[in-house]
Structure 1
Amino acid sequence: MKALAGITIISAALLAGCESGDIKTAKETVASELRDPESAQFRNIIKTKENEWGVVTVCGEVNGKNSYGGYVGFQRFVNSPPSNRVYMEKSWLTFDDLWDDNCSNS
């Protein structure tokens, strides 16, 4: 039983390191936009197919801590790793259009 638990832990660790370069870059860029980058929690990360210009977009949700040390809740983001431009749901008035154009049909 201990051997099975050990194999499971090792497998999980190896799979965690198999993140694509675009997703890893996007997570680093998005985290850098937060007040406490080390607190970033991600979920529902998707990588779109390359568009006609070869650009990939990474979409997902991020949660981070505020200045009081409490998590503020998940918000959606859109990032294109080549440009490193981050669009956060709570910061862009036209975010829903951006999300629909880049992330909804992925």
Structure 2
Amino acid sequence: MFKYALIVLLTLFISACKPSDKEMIKFGESLVAQSLKDPESAKFSSYYRPFGDGVGYVCGTVNAKNSYGGYVGNRNYYVHLTVKDDKVVDNSPVKIIDENDDKGEGNFRSICQ
């Protein structure tokens, strides 16, 4: 019984060392939503891509309404996050890639895939 309790405690301790991928995605999506004209309309498909201990990107697609109230279609996006002491301490500006931005698409592919 003691062995199982110790395993559970160690698992909780280790998982408390940094935010989960799900928490990182939620934070990244909130940053993206803040940059939109209608944040409540945002529909996401996102994932977290780690690049080391406490550093990574939230990547995915977002579809949101524009100023005219219509959805613009899925756009790729990414945002860099840095975690220290269980908290996101730094992030890059959100990059939402426009339809004809070939350089942005290239960056998205190299960072996120």
Structure with the higher fraction of residues in strand conformation: 2
Question: Number of aligned pairs?
Answer: 85
Question: CA deviation digits over 1:3-58, x for unaligned, max 9?
Answer: xxxxxxxxxxxxxxx97221111000001111101111012x1111233x631101
SS at match of 1:71: coil
Q: What is the aligned counterpart of 2:32 among 30, 33, 40?
A: 30
5 Å-filtered alignment, 1:1-106, equals 20-43=22-45, 45-51=46-52, 54-81=54-81, 82-90=90-98, 94-104=103-113
8 Å contact 1:26–1:84 — kept in the other structure? no
| Higher Rg of the two aligned structures | 2
Which structure 2 segments of 5+ residues have no match? 1-19, 82-89
Partners of 2:58 and 2:103 in 1: how far apart?
Answer: 18
Partners of 1:102 and 1:34 in 2: how far apart?
Answer: 22
Partners of 1:67 and 1:49 in 2: how far apart?
Answer: 34
Q: Mean alpha-carbon deviation: is it higher for 32-41 or for 53-62?
A: 53-62
Which structure 1 segments of 5+ residues have no match? 1-17
Partners of 2:78 and 2:112 in 1: how far apart?
Answer: 8
Partners of 2:33 and 2:39 in 1: how far apart?
Answer: 5
8 Å contact 1:29–1:84 — kept in the other structure? no
Partner of 2:8: none
Q: TM-score, normalised by structure 1?
A: 0.69
Q: TM-score, normalised by structure 2?
A: 0.65
SS at match of 1:99: helix
The residue type equivalent to 2:64 in the other structure is G
